[in-house]
Amino acid sequence: MERTLVILKPGALQRGLVGEVISRFEKRGLKLVAMKMKQLDQSVLDEHYAHLKDKPFFPWLCSGMMAAPVILCCWEGFEAVKVVRAMAGSTNARNAAPGTIRGDYALSAQENIVHTSDSVENARIELDRFFSPEDYCSYPSPLEQYLYAPDEK
């Protein structure tokens, strides 16, 4: 099964939306396999947002990501990367479709509640950035037969 990283950004914690957002992934049927709360620092954000380091908003983005702790989650499921990315919605929350997390809970291009990995390759890199092998929990999923067809693995 595919795994992807979700970061509940400081705004999610400050606004009391952690439960709501996690609940969406749970209800969709995704499996939570690792989770931790962490205060991010500049050095990890330099890596995580390296593709944005020359953008004028980079310093604001980093301050926003360090304004409070984040919740790091690894969700597992068939094609989880694209499923979770679609649930987040467009980066600029003002353009995000209603029904997506950003489209329902945010109004900003920066303060947009969640980070989600954008490809299978980046999901691997990002999960390795924030989690060690011992952080992952293995447990039975008795509902799997009701969530997927036999070839959806």
Whole-number Å distance between alpha carbons of 135 and 35: 8
Q: Return the number of the residue (55 or 136) whose C-beta is nearest ligand UDP.
A: 55
Least distance from ligand UDP to the Cβ atom of residue 62, Å: 10
List the catalytic residue out of 8, 73, 115, 126: 115
Q: Return the number of the residue (125 or 143) whose C-beta is nearest Mg ion.
A: 125
Q: Which of 37, 52, 125, 137 binds ligand UDP (CB under 6 A)?
A: 52
Q: Return the number of the residue (34 or 123) whose C-beta is nearest ligand UDP.
A: 123
Catalog residues that contact Mg ion under the rule CB under 5 A: 118
Residue 112 binding ligand UDP, by CB under 6 A? yes
Whole-number Å distance between alpha carbons of 60 and 1: 35
Whole-number Å distance between alpha carbons of 77 and 47: 26
State which of positions 72-111 bind ligand UDP (CB under 6 A): 91, 109-110
Q: Is residue 115 among the annotated active site residues? A: yes
Closest CA relative to residue 74, chosen from 20, 32, 17, 128: 32
Sorted by sequence, the CB contacts under 8 Å of residue 1 that are 6+ apart come out as: 31, 76, 77, 78, 80, 153
Closest CA relative to residue 48, chosen from 31, 64, 27: 64
Residue 61 binding ligand UDP, by CB under 6 A? yes
Cite the active site residues: 115
Q: Which residues bind ligand UDP (CB under 6 A)?
A: 52, 57, 61, 91, 109-110, 112, 115, 118
